[in-house]
Amino acid sequence: MLKQIVCPVSKDMINEQIVRLNAIIGVLLLTAGFAFDSAFFMLFLMADFFIRAFTSVKLSPVSFISHWLTNTLKLGEKRIDKAPKIFAARLGFVMLLLVNILFLTGAHTAALVVGGIFVFFAMLEFALAVCVGCIIFTYLVLPFYK
């Protein structure tokens, strides 16, 4: 199944180590938001995803930390295509927007469910380098372009 996945492509490349650290930091921030019952962490994470998904700013705050950690821990570099990660960041932004709306309107259980899905997707990226954005692109977006 995963061998048939088609991802968006671009000429821009990024370091996979930074992407994977971004994922775990996102999990930690969202978890902190729920643990401390504070929208601050979730709003910060949503803003970070907005920067990554919709602007040309080179590093968002979370990406800056991931970049610093990659250099400090000497994790090395593995170049990967940036386009799938931008698509995934857009999906992440939409999920975090929904989490924030639900959380701020008092629908904490629904926010927790959507947040749990976000955490699951981010952990797949962090632990296994599986881009759920590519899977969604292949089965839910690409068929409309054929």
The interaxial angle of helices 16-35 and 108-128, nearest 10 deg, is 150
Please report the pLDDT score of residue 62 as a whole number: 98
Q: What's the pLDDT tens digit per position in 98-140?
A: 999 999 999 999 999 999 999 999 999 999 999 998 889 888 8
**Which residue do the tokens 């992407």 mark?**
19
Cβ-Cβ contacts under 8 Å for 46 (sequence gap 6 or more)? 93, 96, 97, 99, 100
Q: Model's pTM, two decimal places? A: 0.93
Q: Look up residue 91 and give its two tokens.
A: 């999906």
Asked if residue 1 has pLDDT above 60, the reply is no
Radius of gyration of the chain (CA): 15
Q: What's the pLDDT tens digit per position in 4-61?
A: 777 778 899 999 999 999 999 999 999 999 999 999 999 999 999 999 999 999 999 9
DSSP state of 36: T
Percent of the residues in the chain that have a pLDDT greater than 90, as a whole number = 81
